Structure 1
Amino acid sequence: MFMIYNIGMFLKRCARIHKGKTYQSWWIVEAHREKGKIKHRYIMNVTRFTPSQRKRIVKLLRSPDAQLIEDMEEFFQEGVGYGDIVFFLYQIRQLGVTSILKKYLSRKALSLTLAVMLNRIIRPSSKMEAIEWIKETSFPHFCPLKEKDYQANRVYEAMDKVYDDLDNIMEDFYQLSEEKPLFLLYDVTSVYFEGRCVKKAKNGYSRDRRPDRPQVLLGLVLNEKGFPIHFEIFEGNLKDSETLQGVVKKVKERFGLEKGIIVGDRGMITTNNIEAIAGESLGYIMALKHEGAKNFLREKRIQLELFDKRLPLTIFEEEGKKYILCGSEYRKERDSYVFNKLLEKGKEALEVVERMIRQGRLKKYEKVIRRAQKKLTESGATRYYDFSYEEEERKFTIIEKENEIEKAKALCGYYVLKTSEVEMQDDKVEEHYKKLREVEQVFRDLKDLIDIRPIYHWIDRRVKTHIFLCLLSQVVLGRVRKRLKEKGWLGKKKENTLERFITLLGTVQLGEFSLEDKTILRVQKKNPLEKILQRIFDLSPSHLARDTEICRV
């Protein structure tokens, strides 16, 4: 490893012509005399450097106090995280997020906001831990923050500045989608808290399996390209279906939609919601709930085996709507697994009552019946089990409703879509419904990679800002995943995961060298992702040099 420190050298342009085309390269060259003749010693090829970087090199080379240091190892002080910081700052800027935040935030607030996002993407932690972590990376070299600014309270102040203009920031962010959406993919998840001071935090159905914690519901709308165009926070004890109508109206007004199709999962399909969607002159594609689908197939006397090889297929149509039967082997395996778990839960619930009777803790008929009914209802398996109790013999019998169980097993793997789009081909309806997986992927990223929960903020405005910044961070991650997948790197090998990609980025360090009372910074030359960054993200080593402006805050 060598470094230009101060020496009388110059930058030389070399050109050659091949097949009528001119190819040029740039070199740092040292001139010296040999037997009375001037000769050139080529020190370093800087062709891949940007023009602005080469101008800086020229300025450095003109210094009269020049010397060449070929080995910098003995001057090394420490290395800090660099590759992941620079890469994601660049991605945030490319997405357009940096320019939006710049419109509303001071440089200090912007720097702290970006620091929070980087922490969520690279190493999620509390705000206090995040600020200590970011100080030990290369981030301070790209922002105007002073030592006194690296405090959790300054982060909270920056979040409050974001909240002050959050409506405008969100509107600008949604407009990055560039065009009016046609399909609105909507789903809801729950996010739980530590603490009980937030107004909207209520105990309700927890997708995080934390019914003991208050939560809010996060409603998210993506367009057909998978880009967020609306998010909203609801009280944690609402039903999914109760969140839809207001969202539809807001998205329609924001984009001035004259037509659009709401795509929602089972929890969204109610008569009131469908009427509200129709009232906004929009269409819908929604799945019937499990029980609703089963009842519908029974009522219409649909024989599933007749359609098994031709799915998806319209099985019933009436004025302004049609029902499409869909299914797959993958879904059959998944539905069977879920259904068997339900049967186990129902049986275990009744076995609890059976043990209590055996142990003498339950004896009287009325108490046994009430307890058994309560346990069975809580398990959700009342359709598939019954029970009987003979008080004199203290005999409790668990009864399996075999006919109902067989019918339910036969329906595993099938689902029914209801849509207003009667002219749309059945396979297209199913295709658009399956895009709800993109919303589910966002929720998985928010919970598994971004660590959106548990939320420790106890002030409503900071909860909303926290969720929004987490969402921005996920959009950046989603953009990176999409590029890696499109170019064939993600999944090519078992170990090629998004998490490993981030880890490898973090191995590229910024070295700090101390030389004659001066501190010199040098980016690690070895980069395990160099070819991938060039091929997939069009980032050359010169783009990752410290003096580039691509990631400047």
Structure 2
Amino acid sequence: MVPSIVAKTVRGRKYYQIVESRRVHGRPRSFVLAHLGRPETLLARVQQPGPGRFRSVAHGAVAALWGQATALDLAALIDAQVPRDRRGRLPLRAGLTPGQTLVLAAVARACRPLSKRAFAAWAQTTSLGRLAGVDVAKLTSQHFWDQMDTVPAARLAAIEAAVVRRVVEQERIAPDTLFYDTTNFFTFIDSTNPRPTVAQRGHNKQQRHDLRQFGLALVVSREGQLPLFHLLYNGDRPDVRVFPEVLTSVRTRLEQVFGATPPPVTLIYDKGNVSRATQAAVTEAGLHYVSSLVPSQHPALLAEALPRLAPVRLPTGEEVPAYRTRQPLWGQERTLVVLRSERLRAGQVRGLHQQLSKRARALAALTAGLEAPRGGRGTRAGLERQVAEILRGQHMRRLLQVEILQEGGRWRLATAVNATEYQRLTQEQFGLRVLMTDRHELSTADLIVAYRGQSRAERSFREMKDPATCSVRPQYHWTDQKIQVHAFCCVVGYLLLKLLERRARQAGVAVRSPRALLRALQAIREVMVIEPGPRGRPRVRRQLEELSPASAPLARCFDLLPNP
């Protein structure tokens, strides 16, 4: 039957329904398909101008990061170090304090590393403006530059110390083990620009030796890989010269956070920072340490250890051949552990073969030139310089034996690989690590595990060079103060992201990486529904889009679900 509209009176009031008549057991029976309500309700529906409007914005990532920054009261910690005017007022721009602006910059850096000029366009696609209570369209690059100017570079260390103290209090971080590493970031600052002193040319780890760079030292915690200290330094300073300055600053930071007598701390760092002078500085700073030595610089120790390597079982069940001894080194008694890693050895052998192949091709090209009809007529000294240039590099001079001969007035080369040296390198030296510590009470397995944890600092830099999350680049600042404030915002953004990752893991949510966490959070979107209200006034309500199975646990973890 065709549905029809019928009226029904209940307690003296008329209501309308859509009903359909169906036969049940041979008799007609009415079934209600929909309740339309009272006449005035039907009239309002007929006169309604149209359906509501919808606007969807990214919400999960910015809401979680902003909530974490709010829990730390991050803006207030920054503003506490910003100079006031004569009346004791903070500089306000667009209704924001410098601390609030830097927090917005840190959240943006964690979510989507972009230039300050691109911030407004990105922020308008998120709920960040509503959360911060600001019109993000007004936050131009000039706004950020002006606010960054109000934060003295000399106050950044005090701000970071206050932030770290708050994090340690809230998260109950035990600073028993810290991991240290350094890296550098290239810039596009003009080489003729004399104003920046921190951006200098040096050995760039991304092979951009043609560009000016600045260095960044980072100390992260064992729990959660949280950045607890950073230092920006000139790009032409070697890492080993920066290390003593870092030691002093780390000791100061520990005293600022834990008082005049901080708990014992073990600092873990790689062999690039080790020397007699730096080890003396570590002792003077009152820090324990686990580090490593260059194996080739200690042949007597290797000769003693190789016949005595014995398997050591790690907590993971892996067995590592190792030898432990206690010997004086640089005026102090230290525990030394020689261990062998087949994975490291295989990688070193691959690298050696690549270098040998490269040199063999270069020597073959040189030989072909000598054998050409008009070749082989230069001087011996000139040919020796060419060969010496080709054999530059670790182990090459001992592995490749090149003899310069003269026959019939023409020069030629006789090349051979030193099989004895190759055997010694690959079987006796490659794959070996020498660990060094003053923590004599630790077991060999614990020392190995502790040193391997140094990869946490290396992982931090890989994540801070990820163009999708917390990347220090792009950076378009070219004065020292702006570069330092920019680096501070990047480290703070990374800290907020790592705190979210720690919180998710504590809640039992599987998180593979900060990038995966952000991707899952960015899938949580907020819908703004604008509906006609009474008397023609629009009514606005907000709700989350339907959550995916991966996003739902995160929404619960970070309190993103609306109140019931």
Relative to the length of structure 2, the TM-score reads 0.75
| Maintained 8 Å contact 1:312/1:426 | no
What does 1:93-104 correspond to in 2, within 5 Å? 93-95=70-72, 97-101=74-78, 103-104=80-81
| Maintained 8 Å contact 1:530/1:540 | no
Separation in structure 2 between the aligned mates of residue 430 and residue 190 of structure 1, nearest angstrom:
27
Count of equivalent residues: 482
Equivalent residue, structure 2, for 1:533: 554
* 1:74 to partner: Cα distance: 2.4
The equivalent position to 1:337 in structure 2, one of 350, 369, 378, is 350
Is 1:204 equivalent to 2:208 in the alignment? no
Tell me the alpha carbon deviations over residues 127-151 of structure 1, each in whole angstroms, 9 at most, x when there is no partner: 1112321133222222343467321
Equivalent residue, structure 2, for 1:283: 288
Per the alignment, do residues 517 and 35 of structure 1 end up closer, same or farther by CA in structure 2, a change over 3 Å counting? Answer: closer
| Maintained 8 Å contact 1:108/1:145 | no
Is 1:509 equivalent to 2:529 in the alignment? no
| Maintained 8 Å contact 1:194/1:454 | no
Tell me the alpha carbon deviations over residues 100-151 of structure 1, each in whole angstroms, 9 at most, x when there is no partner: 2354565343443233222222221111112321133222222343467321
What is the letter of the counterpart of residue 530 of structure 2? F
The equivalent position to 1:431 in structure 2, one of 442, 445, 449, is 449
What is the letter of the counterpart of residue 246 of structure 1? E
Per the alignment, do residues 485 and 405 of structure 1 end up closer, same or farther by CA in structure 2, a change over 3 Å counting? Answer: farther
What is the letter of the counterpart of residue 126 of structure 1? S
| Maintained 8 Å contact 2:63/2:560 | no
Is 1:396 equivalent to 2:413 in the alignment? yes
Is 1:407 equivalent to 2:424 in the alignment? yes
What is the letter of the counterpart of residue 389 of structure 2? K
Is 1:252 equivalent to 2:251 in the alignment? yes
* 1:218 to partner: Cα distance: 0.9
Equivalent residue, structure 2, for 1:127: 116
Per the alignment, do residues 358 and 469 of structure 1 end up closer, same or farther by CA in structure 2, a change over 3 Å counting? Answer: farther
Separation in structure 1 between the aligned mates of residue 187 and residue 229 of structure 2, nearest angstrom:
22
**Segment of structure 1 superposing worse, 315-324 or 88-97:** 88-97
Please state whether the residue corresponding to 1:324 is helix, strand or coil. strand
What is the letter of the counterpart of residue 270 of structure 2? D
Is 1:169 equivalent to 2:185 in the alignment? no
Per the alignment, do residues 299 and 333 of structure 1 end up closer, same or farther by CA in structure 2, a change over 3 Å counting? Answer: closer
Please state whether the residue corresponding to 2:397 is helix, strand or coil. coil
Is 1:375 equivalent to 2:352 in the alignment? no
* 1:248 to partner: Cα distance: 1.0
* Unpaired stretches in structure 2, ≥5 consecutive residues: 1-8, 14-40, 83-91, 256-261, 314-318
Please state whether the residue corresponding to 2:150 is helix, strand or coil. helix
**Segment of structure 1 superposing worse, 111-120 or 309-318:** 309-318
Equivalent residue, structure 2, for 1:22: none
Is 1:419 equivalent to 2:437 in the alignment? yes
What does 1:148-547 correspond to in 2, within 5 Å? 149-163=138-152, 165-175=155-165, 176-178=167-169, 181-195=175-189, 196=191, 197=193, 198-225=196-223, 226-256=225-255, 257=262, 259-292=264-297, 295-300=299-304, 302-303=306-307, 311=320, 313-319=322-328, 320-358=333-371, 363-378=378-393, 381-392=396-407, 393-410=410-427, 411-448=429-466, 449-485=469-505, 489-490=509-510, 498-507=514-523, 508-513=525-530, 515=532, 516=536, 518=538, 520-528=540-548, 529-533=550-554, 537=557, 539=559, 541-542=561-562
* 1:239 to partner: Cα distance: 2.1
| Maintained 8 Å contact 1:349/1:376 | no
Please state whether the residue corresponding to 1:455 is helix, strand or coil. coil
| Maintained 8 Å contact 1:108/1:144 | no
Is 1:86 equivalent to 2:84 in the alignment? no
| Maintained 8 Å contact 1:218/1:234 | yes
Separation in structure 1 between the aligned mates of residue 414 and residue 234 of structure 2, nearest angstrom:
42
Please state whether the residue corresponding to 2:209 is helix, strand or coil. coil
- Of structures 1 and 2, the larger Rg is shown by 2
What is the letter of the counterpart of residue 416 of structure 2? I
* 1:166 to partner: Cα distance: 1.9
Equivalent residue, structure 2, for 1:61: none
Separation in structure 2 between the aligned mates of residue 306 and residue 286 of structure 1, nearest angstrom:
21
What is the letter of the counterpart of residue 300 of structure 1? E
Separation in structure 2 between the aligned mates of residue 436 and residue 485 of structure 1, nearest angstrom:
21
* Unpaired stretches in structure 1, ≥5 consecutive residues: 1-32, 38-64, 546-553
Please state whether the residue corresponding to 2:336 is helix, strand or coil. strand
User: Aligned residues: percent identity?
Assistant: 18
Separation in structure 1 between the aligned mates of residue 362 and residue 326 of structure 2, nearest angstrom:
41
| Maintained 8 Å contact 1:385/1:401 | yes
Per the alignment, do residues 352 and 150 of structure 1 end up closer, same or farther by CA in structure 2, a change over 3 Å counting? Answer: farther
What does 1:39-118 correspond to in 2, within 5 Å? 74-95=51-72, 97-101=74-78, 103-104=80-81, 107-118=96-107
Please state whether the residue corresponding to 2:547 is helix, strand or coil. coil
Per the alignment, do residues 78 and 301 of structure 1 end up closer, same or farther by CA in structure 2, a change over 3 Å counting? Answer: closer
* 1:379 to partner: Cα distance: 6.8
Separation in structure 2 between the aligned mates of residue 117 and residue 480 of structure 1, nearest angstrom:
14
Please state whether the residue corresponding to 1:415 is helix, strand or coil. strand
Tell me the alpha carbon deviations over residues 360-394 of structure 1, each in whole angstroms, 9 at most, x when there is no partner: 67743211111221232157633432312224343
Separation in structure 1 between the aligned mates of residue 168 and residue 353 of structure 2, nearest angstrom:
42
* 1:85 to partner: Cα distance: 1.9
| Maintained 8 Å contact 1:258/1:281 | no
Separation in structure 1 between the aligned mates of residue 151 and residue 390 of structure 2, nearest angstrom:
48
Please state whether the residue corresponding to 1:153 is helix, strand or coil. helix
| Maintained 8 Å contact 2:310/2:322 | no
* 1:423 to partner: Cα distance: 2.4
Please state whether the residue corresponding to 1:219 is helix, strand or coil. strand
* 1:172 to partner: Cα distance: 0.4
| Maintained 8 Å contact 2:129/2:136 | no
Relative to the length of structure 1, the TM-score reads 0.77
